[in-house]
Amino acid sequence: MAALCESFTLRGPGPGGGGPGLCLEPGPGHDLVLLTERGRAATLFKISDQKPLGCWSVKHGQILTCPVVCNFETHEYIAVHDDKVLRIWKNEDINLDKAFKATLSADVYRIHSLPQGGPVVLFRGGGVRTLDVLLEAPQQEIENVVSGEAIRWSGAFMEGQQPVLIFTTEKDGEFFVYVQKPKLGSLHRYKLEQQESAKPLCFTAHVTNQTVTLLCLYSNDSVYQVLIPLQQDTEEEEEEEILSKSLLLNLSVSGAVLKGTSLVVLDKDHVAVLGSLAAPGKEPRECLTIWNTKFQTLQTSKELPLGTSGQLWCYEEKFFLIHGKVLTVILYKCETSSLAAAVGKLKDSQTPDVSLFLNWNTLEDEELMVSFQSQESVALKAESRMNLRSRRSTAEQPMTLPVGQLLLNLKNASTYVLENELKKLMAKAPAPDLQATIGCVVTALIDRCKRNPKYYPQNFLQQILETHELSYSLCPDLMTVALEKKDMPLLQMCLERFPDIPEEVTYTCLKAFLSMSEAHLQTLDVNVDSVICYIDVDMDDQEVKTEIVENGFSAEMDQDMCDTKMPEESHFRSRGESCPVGLQKAALLNAVLHSAYTETFLLPHLKNLPAQQAILFLRYLYYLYVKCSEKVNTTLPGIRSPTINQIMDWMCLLLDAQFTVMVMLPEAKELLSNLHKFVRAQVRFYSELNKIEGSLQELQRLNHLRESQTYSIEVLEII
């Protein structure tokens, strides 16, 4: 779980002002950060005290050209001004002019300071030197590695005892990745696989198991993951290696898209993204968000209404960003629950975890991608996701290729051809891959529906749903489109069959069902199996049931308990007895009652249910409840009819969610009062049962006592 905690201001809108050119680096110890403002000054802050400990600035006319860093071993500060002039000083030095100075032969891009490896200097031309080597001969010649490419981002890590520097460059819209080990003098250049109509905005990287994981935030609102192996034979000189990337995360949540500007990795499952959340029809809002990459979910977010500079840093479980004009610190928590450890689920944390989690969303894209490329990406052994993919591709190469290819080819085919081809495809898909294939097929169909508003293959979709075990995550857009098209039968099927419908969608379906007119519903081909057995189809013959006896409790009996006699009671009772909704609507609502949900997630949505619909739904639930109670075993007849527990749970949920509405609305008064009376009668009835149970238990006990005589002679047959 991840959560954003309190925030505070580290530095107010000082004379230097906020704005671009600010950069943060970790300071020479815990709770310290170094703030560099482009231009002249570097300030050391103690975070918890929210105050500066020291400030150094260069002379007028000089400009700091890269962030000041701290050498963690010697606790010295290192700055570069005017691209070439290196300055090194200590905490006690006050005047920077008197500090150690060395002029270098080439322009410095950035200095990276590593906790155990000392500072590493990256030059504009791509050359890398450790500071020690550089200081031995400051005027040494620095080679030019990149030709005409501009460095966009750089990062440094320790890999074993080796510092590793990785940087990305851009030239003519193409991106390259360089990996350098300055101590070994090794250099690798890779080309980053291109993404159509999108380019990387921000990079971040970390090293695990000798593999650099480079995460790139692209302008198409997605985060891609690129794996770069560190252990490679240095001899072979390949002409140009292309790094393939895989989609890690789609920055969209319920229709809203996050236009990210900065990306930070928190742990192996969590990333933080700073950006502006743009929902259709709403003003974009700047937000700091934490995402779970494993489950593809937005874990938490915080709005930043004053705007940010788009930069985000993260040290020691704190985010640093410029909010408005002030440098703000936001604490966060990002923990993996240790409960798993307690119950022994995490016994071997050492073994490489082969994740069995398949992300169907990504899979579809990957499969399409695979078909795009003629060559299969290089499988990296260390990474489990890649493992998975390479296994898939070797085993199912002949199949996956046609699927992706076919779907592409059919993009513009006629409806008839498309459906025929897809049917053929599904018929011959091999069993292990069937699910994924069908997921692709449905997605392809839905995509076409989206492009062509007139196209909607209702029968075909129904057929697929009926014959195959699909799930929501396999075709997330299906229900959305069905909702748009008001395809109630399809939604009913989805609700009955999908095990993993998000609560939001369930709610949307419920709302749609409730708002649909009965007349329109009667024209639809809704499956009414679940209601036909208990709803009185002929609603006119009410005189047959003049007196209803509920579990032996005549409704009349409770009237004395009723505080205020209602004049139109008899009228109301007749309404309560007959089903408040039509056959079709009841069947649809039953489908909703059947779907799986989590209370906490459903409740906020239910609060939005319009009052009239809530009352109608409650009335139906009440009707079901009464119907259930008529039978001794409190079950409704029929296939897929709701159980008493489902009815009760939904009733509680609805009452919880709509509490104020129920209190305020005059129409609800009668219903609630009747419901209350009925529940009270039931409670009394069950308490009577309790008594009987007690007596029976006592009888049983006596019976048992008699049996437990101390001696008996019995006959035992052994065969």
What residues contact 705, with CB distance under 8 A and at least 6 apart? none
Which is nearer to another protein, 270 or 389 (by Cβ)? 270
Which is nearer to another protein, 341 or 539 (by Cβ)? 341
- Give the C-alpha separation, 668 to 619, whole Å: 9
Dihedrals φ, ψ of 150, to 5°? Answer: -105, 135
For the bound state, the minimum distance from the C-beta of residue 331 to another protein, rounded and expressed in Å, comes to 14
Q: Where are the beta strands (DSSP E) in 60-173?
A: 64-71, 76-81, 85-89, 100-103, 108-114, 118-123, 128-130, 150-159, 162-171
For the bound state, the minimum distance from the C-beta of residue 48 to another protein, rounded and expressed in Å, comes to 18
Which is nearer to another protein, 341 or 663 (by Cβ)? 341
Which is nearer to another protein, 633 or 712 (by Cβ)? 712
For the bound state, the minimum distance from the C-beta of residue 299 to another protein, rounded and expressed in Å, comes to 16
Which is nearer to another protein, 633 or 687 (by Cβ)? 687
- Give the C-alpha separation, 443 to 334, whole Å: 34
For the bound state, the minimum distance from the C-beta of residue 690 to another protein, rounded and expressed in Å, comes to 8
For the bound state, the minimum distance from the C-beta of residue 706 to another protein, rounded and expressed in Å, comes to 11
Six-digit token pair at 27? 């300071």
Three-state SS at 322: strand
- Give the C-alpha separation, 356 to 388, whole Å: 8
Which is nearer to another protein, 158 or 340 (by Cβ)? 340
Q: What secondary structure does DSSP assign to 583-616, as a single string?
A: HHHHHHHHHHHHS---HHHHHHHHTTS-HHHHHH
Which is nearer to another protein, 240 or 707 (by Cβ)? 707
Task: Give a three-class secondary structure readout of 386-443.
Answer: HHHHHHHHHHHHHHHHHHHHHHHHHHHCCHHHHHHHHHHHHHHCCHHHHHHHHHHHHH
Q: Look at residues 462, 401, 468, 459 and name the one whose alpha carbon lies nearest to residue 438.
A: 468
What residues contact 583, with CB distance under 8 A and at least 6 apart? 528, 531, 532, 535, 537
For the bound state, the minimum distance from the C-beta of residue 694 to another protein, rounded and expressed in Å, comes to 9
- Give the C-alpha separation, 201 to 259, whole Å: 10
Which is nearer to another protein, 240 or 717 (by Cβ)? 717
Q: Look at residues 623, 615, 550 and name the one whose alpha carbon lies nearest to residue 586.
A: 623
Six-digit token pair at 520? 């329109």
For the bound state, the minimum distance from the C-beta of residue 73 to another protein, rounded and expressed in Å, comes to 23
Q: Is 172 left (phi over 0), alpha (psi -120 to 50) or beta?
A: left
For the bound state, the minimum distance from the C-beta of residue 697 to another protein, rounded and expressed in Å, comes to 10
Which is nearer to another protein, 427 or 718 (by Cβ)? 718
Which is nearer to another protein, 97 or 335 (by Cβ)? 335
Which is nearer to another protein, 600 or 708 (by Cβ)? 708
- Give the C-alpha separation, 14 to 338, whole Å: 43
For the bound state, the minimum distance from the C-beta of residue 701 to another protein, rounded and expressed in Å, comes to 11
Q: Where are the beta strands (DSSP E) in 464-619?
A: 549-550, 553-554
For the bound state, the minimum distance from the C-beta of residue 717 to another protein, rounded and expressed in Å, comes to 4
What is the residue type of 283? Answer: E
For the bound state, the minimum distance from the C-beta of residue 598 to another protein, rounded and expressed in Å, comes to 23
What is the residue type of 71? Answer: N
Which is nearer to another protein, 639 or 719 (by Cβ)? 719
Q: What secondary structure does DSSP assign to 692-707, as a single string?
A: HHHHHHHHHHHHHHHH
For the bound state, the minimum distance from the C-beta of residue 544 to another protein, rounded and expressed in Å, comes to 41
Which is nearer to another protein, 517 or 709 (by Cβ)? 709
8 A C-beta contact, residue 39 and residue 14: no
What residues contact 156, with CB distance under 8 A and at least 6 apart? 112, 114, 117, 120, 163, 164, 165, 166
8 A C-beta contact, residue 550 and residue 678: yes
For the bound state, the minimum distance from the C-beta of residue 268 to another protein, rounded and expressed in Å, comes to 10
For another protein, the binding residues (CB under 8 A) are 335-338, 340-347, 349, 690, 708-719
For the bound state, the minimum distance from the C-beta of residue 713 to another protein, rounded and expressed in Å, comes to 5
What is the residue type of 526? Answer: V
Which is nearer to another protein, 517 or 695 (by Cβ)? 695
